[in-house]
Structure 1
Amino acid sequence: ATYFGSMHLAPNKVLVDSIVRLGQRAVVGKVSMDRESPDNYIEETQQGLADAEDFVEYTLSQQCSRVMPCITPRFIPTCTMESMKGLAAIARKYDCHVQSHISECCGEVSFSRHLHPEHRCDALVFDEAGLLTNKSLMAHGTLLDDDAIRLLVERGTSVSHCPLSNFFLGDACFRVNHTMNLGLKVGLGTDVAGGISASMLTSIRMAVVNARCLRAHKLAIKGGFDDKRTARFEVTPDMEVDVISFKEGLYLATMGSAKAICIDDKVGSFEVGKEFDALLVDVNVPGGPFDIFDGDSMEDQFEKFINLGDDRNIVEVYVQGKCVKRGDDFTGDVIKPVPVEPSSEKKRKAAE
């Protein structure tokens, strides 16, 4: 998981403690915001930077290789350039992840242009601040143009596709295939604050729906007529370029997301030598959400789980080869953290 925590330092430390104790793998950040925010939910710039660094140091002090700290400017409207540059310096010092929101809706983009008229897009603002790195993950990106996408690709920055949240924000659909064809790393997210579900299964399904909406939009724009205005409701090949299946949705949730946060050398697939992060799924669970019939192939059963399954089908959850959840019971209270690899620790100290 990647977590946007709260703005407050103490609760974020509790969040880290809980993640470590329960055996979860996570990138987690304390949200930073020093402008254009409610009076009771805003921080002074220098104190915010001090708290962000304190949080990074606290998370690293846990010596848990599956929990990584993350610099988290909420988004451009709520972060001054001074804050963003200071946060970028902390990220460089500790070689840690960065996460934020980028080009997510018309209101946000317009307000960011108002605040930074010297830049034509969010990507250039983040780039000036030094927040576009190969460990940066930006949510949404529905309004990124090709030049901005190419800048993200050049910097190694990835985008977390949050389809259900994007539908609620309501201004655009993310073009998964187009952006990946330009070389962008794309993972899958929920952004539950903007949507209604924290389920990755729901996100997979909504990613497929998002792609079908792009296809339907092209057909609607064409209006059911050919170039000679002859009525002809026909789906042409150019309308299919955005379509993805449940298999591509699964890729975004697994290997795509691992690449997006630069841990694809450890997880994301069952390749020999990687750490075993996995779900044990029972498609025949009593009282389950779908039926299995004689003649259903393994792929049929798997597709039913992706499209119809829920937590009732998930029998066990494994992280780093250890079972951390069995049924409704968390077993993580007995999980001991696997220490950070010495090479990673040396790299961090060298960066200080």
Structure 2
Amino acid sequence: MSPQRKLLLLGTFVHSKTQQDLDFLHKAGIAVDAHGKIAAIERDAHDLSEVKARLLAKLGWDEAEVDVTEATEGQFFFPGFVDTHIHASQYANAGIFGKSSLLEWLETYTFPLEASLKDLSKARRVYSRCIRRTLSHGTTTATYFATRDVPATNLLADLCLSMGQRAFVGRVCMDRPDMNPAYYRDASASESVEATQQVIDHIRTIDPGFDVVSPIITPRFAPSCSAEAMKGLAELHRQTGLPIQTHVSENPGEIQLVAQLFPESNSYTDLYDKCGLLTPRTVLAHAVHISEEEADLIAHNKSKVSHCPCSNTCLTSGPARVRWMWDKGIDVGLGTDVSGGYSPSILEAARQAAMVSRHVAMAIEEEKEKERAKLTVEEVLYLATRGGARCVGLEDKIGGFEVGMEWDAQLVTLNEVNGDGEVHDEDDDHGFVDMFGWETWGDRVAKWVYNGDDRNTKRVWVKGRLVHRRK
């Protein structure tokens, strides 16, 4: 890989300051060094030429050695999205969630597709397209479930690194013979651990510092794993310090199944805790039906939750209560959960999170609490960026624009409508988000959240490297 050039980004920048507040940097500039880190920020200048001059003088950079990207009137820079739960191996099934329940859907659609990716040529087609598609939607970091096949999982890691997407790649562990099909399961608990170690070793060879691609320990979910396998994977976590991802309390039938399979545990969450999997580096997908006690246990262990609103609706799992989890002290991010969810877009997940929170509110009688349950535009964008970064342990590196953080970002373009009701360039499709000139910046961002798609994402950078450009 050739050395990166330094970057100067000029224009308007928008990012989450807190869960409730966006920060707008106007007539501003960000300088990014050759390592992909933000070296300096200037804001509130007279014009962009002044910003550029200030940054070059402050850093002593020669403009000839810098790539400059200037946002136009209808554009702004926004942090890259963090997808905290996505099955790359299921991307080819996106939109095919059928009429089935979770467990029926796994047997009918999911396990056959995942098993078929042992064919590496097929895996390459699916994984390459998944990475390209998520990058095009502004996802700079993805937390991936792969399959139980080691070579195919290694291939996903290779592709993420070569295509420049920051990723956590997990080899799926599933060893229970009574819960997994004979054609698609680990032979034993020890195989789950040993095969996971093989993936860790491979990723260490291609990205020794796990700077862009990291392994993640991945017990599929409790019903698919023996207690021995889960305890073995927990021990691997203790030895390596690597993150963990799994599912919890997605729907009532699954919870009942866990109670039948593991009667010694007090709850689904308690089972993970007893096995050693509930850690500060654990991301639990869904958590739709966790109890008060389970939420307290998750918070006590500082584990995280990936909220997957689209999937939770598609599979009729139920509405997760984000505000309640926040009140409990749980860090929450967003997941697309492709292919339980139909869309690979975290922007779609953000608006679905806002909509689902309104369904949560409808079930609340007390008016003040009803209003509190609803998530704002600012809050769902926090979930999509800083919230996700906290879930995957990268809050000091990504999710916002601050000196020392890495430049994982997207350039967003909105339509500027003229007096004739036309946009500046009808041949350049900027999607459905039309700006008439009287909107506040808060209104602009809200219209993007509710009407935007990948056509608005014109450029995407990861660690200062341009990884997607829409023509």
For Structure 1 versus Structure 2, the TM-score category normalised by the shorter chain is 0.7 to 0.9
Q: Aligned ranges for residues 117-196 of structure 1 at < 5 Å?
A: 117-196=263-342
**In the alignment, what sits opposite 2:257?**
111
Q: State the alpha-carbon separation in 2 of the partners of residues 266 and 84 from structure 1.
A: 30
Secondary structure class of the residue paired with 2:284: strand
The reply to whether residue 5 of structure 1 matches residue 136 of structure 2 is no
Amino acid at match of 1:55: V
> Deviation digits for residues 154-186 of structure 1, max 9, x if unmatched?
111000000011112324211111111110010
Return the match for 2:242 from 90, 96, 115: 96
Q: Aligned ranges for residues 1-352 of structure 1 at < 5 Å?
A: 1-35=142-176, 36-45=179-188, 46-62=190-206, 63=208, 64-218=210-364, 236-284=367-415, 286-287=428-429, 288-327=431-470
What is the CA distance between 1:245 and its match in structure 2? Answer: 1.1
Secondary structure class of the residue paired with 2:306: strand
Q: State the alpha-carbon separation in 1 of the partners of residues 331 and 201 from structure 2.
A: 28
Amino acid at match of 1:9: V
Judging by fraction of residues, say which structure has more helix: 1
Greater mean deviation of Cα atoms: 69-78 or 237-246: 237-246
What is the CA distance between 1:47 and its match in structure 2? Answer: 1.9
- TM-score scaled by structure 2? 0.65
Seq. identity, %: 36
Runs of 4 or more, structure 1, over 6 Å off, are none
Q: State the alpha-carbon separation in 1 of the partners of residues 143 and 410 from structure 2.
A: 18
Q: State the alpha-carbon separation in 1 of the partners of residues 369 and 162 from structure 2.
A: 49
What is the CA distance between 1:146 and its match in structure 2? Answer: 1.5
Q: State the alpha-carbon separation in 2 of the partners of residues 294 and 173 from structure 1.
A: 37
Secondary structure class of the residue paired with 2:273: helix
Q: State the alpha-carbon separation in 2 of the partners of residues 237 and 184 from structure 1.
A: 22
Secondary structure class of the residue paired with 2:185: coil
Greater mean deviation of Cα atoms: 204-213 or 163-172: 163-172
Amino acid at match of 1:8: D
Instruction: Note the residue ranges of structure 2 that are not aligned, 5 or more in a row.
Output: 1-141, 416-424
Secondary structure class of the residue paired with 1:198: coil
Q: State the alpha-carbon separation in 2 of the partners of residues 272 and 15 from structure 1.
A: 31
- TM-score scaled by structure 1? 0.86
Amino acid at match of 1:259: R
> Deviation digits for residues 289-314 of structure 1, max 9, x if unmatched?
22110212222222211111111111
Q: State the alpha-carbon separation in 2 of the partners of residues 121 and 211 from structure 1.
A: 25
What is the CA distance between 1:58 and its match in structure 2? Answer: 1.1
Greater mean deviation of Cα atoms: 258-267 or 279-288: 279-288
Judging by fraction of residues, say which structure has more strand: 2
Amino acid at match of 2:300: E
RMSD of Structure 2 on Structure 1 (CA): 1.3
> Deviation digits for residues 2-21 of structure 1, max 9, x if unmatched?
00101111100000000000
What is the CA distance between 1:48 and its match in structure 2? Answer: 2.2
Secondary structure class of the residue paired with 1:108: helix
Secondary structure class of the residue paired with 1:240: helix
| Larger RCO, structure (CA 8 Å, separation 6 or more) | 2
